[in-house]
Amino acid sequence: MRSTGYPNGRSSAGSAPPGRRVARPAAGYHTRRTAQAWLEEVLAQARRGELPGMVRTGATFDDVVAEYMRWLKHDRQRKPSTLRDYGSIIKAHLLPAFADRRLEDITTEQVERWSAQLAARGTMNNRTRLKILTVLHGVMKRAKRVWKLPRNPVSDVEKPTQRRSVEMQVYSPEEMMALVRAADSEQDAAIYLTAAFTGLRRGELVALRWRDVDFPRRHIRVTASYTERALSTPKSGKVRSVPMAPAVAEALARLNQRGEHCTDDDLLFSGIAGGYLDASAPYRRYKATLKRAALRFYDLRHTFGTQVIGNPRVSILQVNEWMGHTDIDTTMKYLHFAPRAGDADLIAEASRRPSPTTRCRSALRSRAPADEGRRGHPAARARRVGTLANSRQPSPIPPRGAPRQGHGGGKAQRNVASEDPR
């Protein structure tokens, strides 16, 4: 078969006799219109430099990963915890799939097939898969900037649907006090109380110093976070101030009387020799205490959020500021778990009120005696219509030969008068 210049070397254009309608082409064939559209798309990709083989970077995906992690650490100055999470994802998922591939050979179709394989394993939820794709998108975005790729192949990959968790464990004040009573030391008990009544994250608690506690104004300033053995800013990147409940103030005041590590620059919850608490022995004590009280540490933060947002005098913006959320949507989730006092009374009051239709009918009935005499009132209008209808009743039919009034009667009388001999 002679080549036609179309994909697959075949075309159905012009195959039918003149004057005969051309049927839909079979699979693998193209009409003149579809072939022209394909050619225009290829030419457009060539003009953008997106055709395979047009870009030669000389770099592999492994090179891009090294540049991306360097950029995150030095240029973007990401937190050690962020670098650890990204490095773990890259090592466990991205390098096994793309390590030796040339940068320009990674396509959207390849990424979509790889993402589908992750989902087919059945051991990974959509949230984890979305996080992996997000890291890959960041790597290729950096590659596009440094190695001048024409496009990011991950940008067009279909993202998996993420379902937000609707479960949240919230504890009562009695359960929180059970946690305090189960603590191994006075400092551990103060940590649990502070976490439950301020909503601070664990790294923010560890980074607190005595100068951050303002007893006269009854608030705690959150200025730093200690994670991965490094001091950094809070997760939101913003310094904030959180109200201090009386129970927290009493516990911290007792802790301040221990006689050591109590100056303004000392840590509020100090470890060995006044240093930072780490994730070794102290954390094992936390887990043992939480297990005895049947609680999780992060649930204390959830408890704080639901308690304060349930107070009608506290606004959502205040809760957002106290908890250090970067967006209001994260704070809004606590509304579903904290019904406000008096909501049932508001609904009961609304159910006792008459409906708008009932109120309108009652108002019309109350105005009826005074308004019936008005010209535009419905009752007066009905009376006029009835009177008019009665006045238009047909009159009795006169006997034959008698003149009919209103229908030529005047003319008949004139004719009779003209015949009078007088």
**pLDDT band per the 50, 70, 90 thresholds, residue 3:** very low
Residue 179, judged by CB atoms within 10 A of its CB (0-12, 13-18, 19+), counts as buried
- CATH number of 173-337, picked from 2.170.120.20, 3.90.1170.50, 3.40.50.720, 1.10.443.10: 1.10.443.10
Give phi and psi for 250, each to the nearest 5.
-65, -45
Q: Which of 4-18, 99-113, 116-130 has the lowest mean pLDDT?
A: 4-18
* 141 pLDDT more than 70: yes
Which tens digit of pLDDT belongs to each residue from 271-280? Answer: 878 888 875 5
The whole-number pLDDT of residue 355 equals: 56
* 175 pLDDT more than 90: no
Take residue 412 and report the two structure tokens written for it.
């008949």
Q: What does the alpha-carbon distance between residue 237 and residue 409 come to, in Å, rounded to a whole number?
A: 104
Q: What does the alpha-carbon distance between residue 39 and residue 134 come to, in Å, rounded to a whole number?
A: 33
* Averaged pLDDT, 137-151: 92
At residue 308's C-alpha, the angle toward residues 303 and 314, to 5°, is 165
Strand pairing class (213-214; 219-222): antiparallel
Task: Provide the percentage of residues in the chain whose pLDDT is more than 70.
Answer: 64
Q: Which of 20-24, 186-190, 355-359 has the highest mean pLDDT?
A: 186-190
* Averaged pLDDT, 59-74: 95
Between 225 and 404, where is the model more confident? 225
Which residue type does 155 have?
S
Q: What does the alpha-carbon distance between residue 227 and residue 225 come to, in Å, rounded to a whole number?
A: 6
Q: What does the alpha-carbon distance between residue 256 and residue 347 come to, in Å, rounded to a whole number?
A: 48
Q: Is 180 helix (H, G, I), strand (E, B) or coil?
A: helix
* Averaged pLDDT, 92-99: 95
Domain with CATH 1.10.150 in the chain: 61-146
The whole-number pLDDT of residue 307 equals: 73
Domain with CATH 1.10.443.10 in the chain: 173-337
In our burial notation (b when 16+ CB lie closer than 10 A, e otherwise), range 297-329 reads: bebbbbbbbbbbbbeeeeeeeebbbbbbbeeee
Which residue type does 168 have?
M
**pLDDT band per the 50, 70, 90 thresholds, residue 173:** confident
**pLDDT band per the 50, 70, 90 thresholds, residue 408:** very low
- CATH number of 61-146, picked from 1.10.150, 1.10.10, 1.25.40, 1.20.120: 1.10.150
What is the radius of gyration, based on Cα positions, of the chain? 42
Q: What does the alpha-carbon distance between residue 240 and residue 220 come to, in Å, rounded to a whole number?
A: 9
The whole-number pLDDT of residue 317 equals: 83
Q: What does the alpha-carbon distance between residue 372 and residue 355 come to, in Å, rounded to a whole number?
A: 25
- Whether the CB-CB separation of 168 and 154 falls below 8 Å is answered with no
- Whether the CB-CB separation of 249 and 218 falls below 8 Å is answered with yes
* 245 pLDDT more than 60: yes
Q: Which of 364, 363, 344, 361 is nearest to 352 (CA)?
A: 344
* Averaged pLDDT, 96-104: 91
Which tens digit of pLDDT belongs to each residue from 186-210? Answer: 988 898 889 888 889 888 999 999 9
